[in-house]
Structure 1
Amino acid sequence: MDTAADRPLPLEGVRVLDVSQVMAGPFCSMMLGDMGADVIKIEPPTGGDQTRSAMGFKLKGDDSLGFINLNRNKRSFAVNLKSPDGLAVFKELVKTADILVENYRPGVARKLGIGYDDLRTVNPGLVYASISGFGQTGPWSQRPGFDLMAQAMGGVMSITGEPDGPPAKSGVPVADIGCALFTLSAILSAHIGKRNTGQGQYIDASLYEAALAFAIWDVCEYWGTGRIPEKLGTANRMSAPYQAVKASDGYFCMGANSQRLWLRLCELIDRQDLADHPDYATIARRLENRVALIDELETVFVTRPMEDWVATLLDAGIPAAPIYNYAQALDNEHARERGVVMDVPHPVEGQARSLGFPMKMMGTPQRVRLSPPLLGEHTDTVLQELGVNQARIAALREEGAVG
């Protein structure tokens, strides 16, 4: 009997070369691997991906938990691209690939001889994605490509934090992960399009533009009013009340972000005076007078615990949520049912804790087919697949072309 787990994954038979390090590129290629692609992680023989040694705490082996969480469902091929023989072997591998992801600083791949123009002569059907901080062109293209700098120059830090506080970055790397997901979308589109033309194409993705792409409400406010958006803390530019508010034992989030919900809230907390007040009569007026409005609401909310308020508001059909730390977000009844956390097999660690698959494909459910690889763990296997014999593999390793 055919079951979903027995069916081939959507990208089975698709080969991806992951010539990237740290976060955006590896996250993108890991998503491709989760969909069934054969992802070969290209790493320098000495050291490998920087994140192998990242983070300030040690596991049993040399690889960090960060590396493990970014590199499941991949094989590691250690090759020295600065070696003529290493480069030649890499180009043989390119002939077998469908997709390549790299995140060198613009111009470096070309200097190494693995830029798009170099490789499309080897494989015209190659979908080649470059991830960088600010894109391949423009006066900022050579700036270091880090999430923090993209958030800073993409406007994110200017609107994050409390109104009277210093600039703050988003607590999670929105530019890195956002760029990874936009690049994933472009790669899949280009791969599908190749079916019609047989031709691959080049994708130029940047952390800076990914950060900006999230700012729809903020840039619309700027274009529509001419006012430069400012920090709002947990509040929202489109509606009020819609933010974190104080209860007797801490903060929770709530959102009466429509006229119907606003009137229901006033009834629930027995504050008809707020419903009748001209300063709060419409969404526009509530936004203008948001600070005073929240002060009024908190005089009620501080009389009861936050979990009590969350339950009361949800029962009334008003969106509300407790504010969880990561211990709470990862370990609760809902997270367990959704598989938010999973244990990944690892050749040294035995089992390593990992975040689960963020999207669920019911017809072809994702699974951990390959544990996060040790550096160069699959070098020999990949070379054998290319038809390289054992004597030649030994010679390549001896001269430092592969590891």
Structure 2
Amino acid sequence: MSFETGPGALGDIRVVELGQLIAGPFCGQLLGDMGADVVKVEPPLVNGVGGDPMRDWGQGDDKVQWELIARNKRSVSANLRVPEGRALVRRLIRHADVVVENFKPGTLEKWGLDPQELLKEQPSLIVARMSGYGQTGPYSTRAGFGGIGEAMGGWRYIVGEEDRPPSRMGVSIGDSLTGTYGCLGILAALHVRERTGKGQVIDAALYESVLQVMEGLVIEYDRAGIIRERSGSVLKGIAPSNVYSAKDGPFMIGANKDSLWQRLAAAMGRPELGHDPRYATHVARGERQDELDALINEWTGTLTMAELDALMIEYAVPAGRVYRAPDMLEDPHFQAREAIVEVETERFGPLKMQSTFPRLSATPSGIRRPAPSSVGQHNAEIYGELLGMSESEMGELAERGVI
């Protein structure tokens, strides 16, 4: 794809991203996709080691996750462990609207970058802080990664088969949720700033981000003492809604509403089942969930996925294949909506990746630049042009390992 040139919804916003790995950088990715100028601060290279560890994350010989999470960002290097590096970043923040960070609570304060102090100097600044347990409370100083947040927030306990230990999702969902909620908080804070001129601090905890999407897990326990348990590929009492076996692969069908069940029964050539008292109501189907799933699975096993797909479309039953990456790339709907785009990256050439999302009609998001290929790639551009530093100043700082 050619790079977008439009400003996007946040084209007048500058973000300084101090975080590493996923939660903070994913927040930065979302803001950058919406047009913000995201300046990514990375530790300088020392003996070839430095930068955000995400540069070396991912499966396969070529580590390409960086190309997604760092798109639409500019990279500067600064050693936050030395006073000169911290002073340089503080100067940079004076030119920013938003700071994003996901260090252990207390780290910014230790570095002399206490958000409350920053706000005294710059009352309009917005600081989004992402951490395992939040900035307050007895656990706040503990180290916390996404998986720990998923466990504490309730996600891990309910994922997997009921006769096995808790499982995990195949992606770092806790981190991504926290980055998303951090972004949501920033957008709300920007709206408030429009009215008041005042910034604020956003506190996004990994475990609370997971907790937000736990639906009725807490309220059901509080009211009825129900503890949700692992249930494999189904939600207990919600039937039929499962992955069934076609002749040539897995096929998802969701027909747990009465009218949908009646249509599925008709598609199966057994319309009488739609009104059979054993299956006619939501409660009845839930009580016979295993029995009903076995009945449906016996039928789906006689058909291919293509045949099932055609039948489900004909009878207006929500259903579909269980997609992998190659299925997504081949699918005409993905192609028509450009849900996956090809981006020309500096390190690996053209790479297919998720497009920007959500879609805004008047101020569309876009991919305006590839991920920075090297640590501090934009030092001269940002420190020179934005902060007015000379080449000799930057050269001296580089020699001393500050940048």
Same fold by TM-score greater than 0.5: yes
Closer, same or farther in 2 for the Cα pair 1:364/1:248, shift >3 Å?
same
Closer, same or farther in 2 for the Cα pair 1:123/1:360, shift >3 Å?
same
The aligned counterpart of 1:381 is 381
Paired amino acid for 1:48: G
5+ unaligned residues in a row in structure 1: which ranges? none
Post-superposition shift, 1:237? Answer: 4.6
Query: Distance in 2 between the 1:233 and 1:358 partners?
Result: 30
Query: Distance in 2 between the 1:224 and 1:287 partners?
Result: 21
Worse overlay, 313-322 or 110-119 = 110-119
Tell whether 2:249 aligns with 1:250: yes
Post-superposition shift, 1:56? Answer: 4.9
Contact 1:134 1:141 in 2 (8 A): yes
Post-superposition shift, 1:138? Answer: 2.0
Closer, same or farther in 2 for the Cα pair 1:32/1:239, shift >3 Å?
same
Percent of aligned pairs sharing the same letter: 35
Q: How does 1:389-400 map to 2 (within 5 A)?
A: 389-400=390-401
Contact 1:218 1:237 in 2 (8 A): no
The aligned counterpart of 2:53 is 50
5+ unaligned residues in a row in structure 2: which ranges? none
Q: How does 1:112-261 map to 2 (within 5 A)?
A: 112-237=111-236, 239-261=238-260
Contact 1:252 1:323 in 2 (8 A): yes
SS in 2 for 1:219: helix
Contact 2:9 2:365 in 1 (8 A): no
Closer, same or farther in 2 for the Cα pair 1:155/1:278, shift >3 Å?
same
Tell whether 2:10 aligns with 1:8: no
The aligned counterpart of 1:87 is 86
SS in 1 for 2:402: coil
Paired amino acid for 1:328: D
Query: Distance in 2 between the 1:6 and 1:131 partners?
Result: 30
The aligned counterpart of 1:71 is 70
The alignment covers a number of residue pairs equal to 394
SS in 1 for 2:121: coil
Closer, same or farther in 2 for the Cα pair 1:375/1:7, shift >3 Å?
closer
Closer, same or farther in 2 for the Cα pair 1:358/1:288, shift >3 Å?
same
The aligned counterpart of 1:284 is 283
Contact 2:262 2:275 in 1 (8 A): no
Q: Cα RMSD over matched residues?
A: 2.0
Contact 1:91 1:122 in 2 (8 A): no
Closer, same or farther in 2 for the Cα pair 1:66/1:279, shift >3 Å?
same
Closer, same or farther in 2 for the Cα pair 1:8/1:56, shift >3 Å?
closer
SS in 2 for 1:76: strand
Contact 1:26 1:70 in 2 (8 A): yes
Query: Distance in 2 between the 1:337 and 1:17 partners?
Result: 35
Tell whether 2:332 aligns with 1:329: no
Paired amino acid for 2:164: G
Query: Distance in 1 between the 2:314 and 2:321 partners?
Result: 14
Tell whether 2:372 aligns with 1:354: no
Post-superposition shift, 1:96? Answer: 0.9
Closer, same or farther in 2 for the Cα pair 1:302/1:343, shift >3 Å?
closer
Query: Distance in 1 between the 2:346 and 2:212 partners?
Result: 39
Q: Give deviations 1:285-314, integer Å, cap 9, x for gaps.
A: 211221112122223222222321222022
Worse overlay, 33-42 or 327-336 = 327-336
- Provide the TM-score with structure 2 as the length reference: 0.92
- Provide the TM-score with structure 1 as the length reference: 0.92
SS in 2 for 1:121: helix
Contact 2:238 2:289 in 1 (8 A): no
Paired amino acid for 1:153: M
Query: Distance in 1 between the 2:297 and 2:73 partners?
Result: 51
Query: Distance in 2 between the 1:350 and 1:24 partners?
Result: 26
Q: How does 1:298-309 map to 2 (within 5 A)?
A: 298-309=297-308
Paired amino acid for 1:359: P
Post-superposition shift, 1:37? Answer: 1.1
Q: How does 1:7-46 map to 2 (within 5 A)?
A: 8-46=7-45
Closer, same or farther in 2 for the Cα pair 1:167/1:392, shift >3 Å?
same
The aligned counterpart of 2:267 is 268
SS in 1 for 2:169: coil
Query: Distance in 1 between the 2:35 and 2:402 partners?
Result: 29
Query: Distance in 1 between the 2:263 and 2:390 partners?
Result: 74
Closer, same or farther in 2 for the Cα pair 1:246/1:224, shift >3 Å?
farther
Q: Give deviations 1:150-187, integer Å, cap 9, x for gaps.
A: 22222112211223333111222221111111111110
SS in 2 for 1:370: coil
The aligned counterpart of 2:369 is 370
Closer, same or farther in 2 for the Cα pair 1:45/1:337, shift >3 Å?
same
Query: Distance in 2 between the 1:57 and 1:6 partners?
Result: 32
Query: Distance in 2 between the 1:279 and 1:169 partners?
Result: 35
Closer, same or farther in 2 for the Cα pair 1:221/1:254, shift >3 Å?
farther
Q: Give deviations 1:201-244, integer Å, cap 9, x for gaps.
A: 00000111111111114334434431211122222356311111
Worse overlay, 124-133 or 172-181 = 172-181
Contact 2:237 2:285 in 1 (8 A): no
Paired amino acid for 2:307: D
Query: Distance in 2 between the 1:237 and 1:138 partners?
Result: 35
Contact 1:330 1:340 in 2 (8 A): no
Worse overlay, 182-191 or 139-148 = 139-148
Closer, same or farther in 2 for the Cα pair 1:296/1:348, shift >3 Å?
closer
